[in-house]
Amino acid sequence: MLSGWLQKPPPQIGPVEVRHAERLAAIHAGAFARPWSAIDFERLLAERAVLADGLFPGRGDNPGGFVLSRRVLDEAEILTVALDPSLRGRRCAAPLLRRHLDALNARGVRRVHLEVDEDNQPALALYRRLGFIETGRRAGYYAKPDGSRATALTMSVEL
C-alpha cells in the first residue's frame, strides 16, 4: 500500500503563460530541427488569438509539454506540439491534445488544421486516433537536421 502513496501524481494540464517561454523554447529545441526561440514564444503567447495548454508533470510549475494553436473565427491551426523527451511514449500527448481540442470547441472553433512531418509516425497515429484526416501534402516543407527536406502532411478535424 505504501508504494501507491509514493507514486508520482499524474500530469496536470493547464494554461501556459509568457513566463513559461524559456521552458517552451527548450522543449521545442529538443523536438524540432528549426526550434523557436523564447522570444518567439513570448510573442505568440501574448496574442489574443493564441491558445496554449501545457502538460505539468509532478507537482512542479514547469511544463513538460505543450500545444499552441491560433484561432481565426470558427477555425484554428495547431501551430506546434512538443513533449520533453522524458515524457514521450508515455501516453501524455493524447490527453493534452484532447483537452486542447475541447477548449477550442468551447471557444466556437468547428475545424482544426495542422501540419505534421510524414515520417513522424507516433504523431500521425495520435492525430488519426483523434479524428484528423489528411487533406494535403507539402513536399520539402520541413528542414531535417541532416539538411534534407521532409514532406508535411496537412490534416484537419471537425469538432
**Structural domain boundaries enclosing 6:** 2-158
Place of cell 496536470: 12
On the question of pLDDT at 6 being above 80, the answer is no
How much is the average pLDDT of 100-129?
Answer: 96
Average pLDDT, the chain: 90
Sheet containing strand 111-117, strands side by side: 12-15, 50-56, 65-72, 75-83, 111-117, 149-158, 133-143
Place of cell 501516453: 91
Question: How many domains does the chain contain in total?
Answer: 1
What single string gives the DSSP state of each residue in 42-75? HHHHH-TTEEEEEEE-TT-SS-SEEEEEEEETTE
pLDDT tens digits for 9-54? 677 899 999 999 999 999 999 988 889 999 999 999 999 999 999 9
Query: Residue 1: its pLDDT value, please?
Result: 46
The CATH number assigned to the domain holding 54 equals: 3.40.630.30
On the question of pLDDT at 77 being above 70, the answer is yes
